[in-house]
Amino acid sequence: MGADYIPEQDNRAASWMKQFARAVVNDPASYRVTIEDATNMETAVTAFRLSLVVARRPISRTIITVAQKNADRKLAEAKVRPLAQWIRRNGEISDVLKMAAGLRPVIRRARVVAPPASVPMLHAKSDRSNAVQIQVRDSQQSGSSAIPKDAAALQVFVCVTDGIASGGSPMCDANGLMGDWKMAGTFTRWPITLRPAASAGWQTFTYVARWVNRRGETGGFGRMTSVQVFTSTLPRGHQPLHTRAA
């Protein structure tokens, strides 16, 4: 009989239907139903309630009156159930109105999205124009370049040090991105091409990245990768050549 809103027992079902019918008939517009549908439903509910009274009285309880009560309940449910389901699932009807009609509002639970579990593996190299190309692989997909299912994009950070360095430096410690790390961009496709812009001379550009999901939750950082570039006398910074960003 639908334990979620129509009780199993006849007397409790009749009481609930009375509450539901009264609420809907008194304000059909707010419940987004027609006056005709509300009236027809109330008529069926009233018939069931009256036949229930007759079937419960010892003096009038017979096989015929019980059968009539059962038939009237079946008809009442046929009128009530579609309206109740429509009202309960309709987002335009307030929860206050739904509860006034004896319905439990639908609780829409947000899907839990865990932060990305894997880390991106970067490989950077420079070309003859001193642009830096970064290839991306995922640590848990056998070297695949595809974005993992629990991620939506890639956040890349860069740290610039003067001269030729190997193995990074204390300023380029990726734990918490302390020091001179800057956001290089958020990307969804690769290879990523960036053109460093800094003072003249050799410089080491160290990159690190992490996955981010659609809720903005981030995974851990992968290993750093570094590339040496002889830069021109442009203002210090890190400007994308063509980012192919999200």
Q: What percent of the chain has pLDDT over 70?
A: 80
- Helix (H), strand (E) at residue 51: helix 35-56
Give tens-digit pLDDT for 137-195. 888 877 677 788 888 889 898 888 877 665 544 455 555 666 678 888 888 888 898 88
* Structural domains in the chain, sorted by start: 10-100 (no CATH), 120-242 (2.60.40.10)
Instruction: Check pLDDT > 80 for residue 240.
Output: no
Give tens-digit pLDDT for 16-66. 999 999 999 999 999 989 999 999 999 999 999 999 999 999 999 999 999
Indicate the pLDDT class of residue 76, thresholds 50, 70 and 90: very high
* 12 to 18, 49, 226: CA distances (angstroms): 10, 11, 73
SS3 8: coil
pLDDT at 117: 83
pLDDT at 39: 94
pLDDT at 116: 84
Compute the distance between CA of residue 198 and CA of residue 232 in angstroms, rounded to an integer.
7
Q: Which of 152, 141, 89 is nearest to 116 (CA)?
A: 152
pLDDT at 179: 67
Beta carbons within 10 angstroms of residue 33's beta carbon: 20
Specify the range with the lowest mean pLDDT, choosing from 68-72, 116-120, 169-173, 226-230: 169-173
In this prediction the pTM is: 0.50
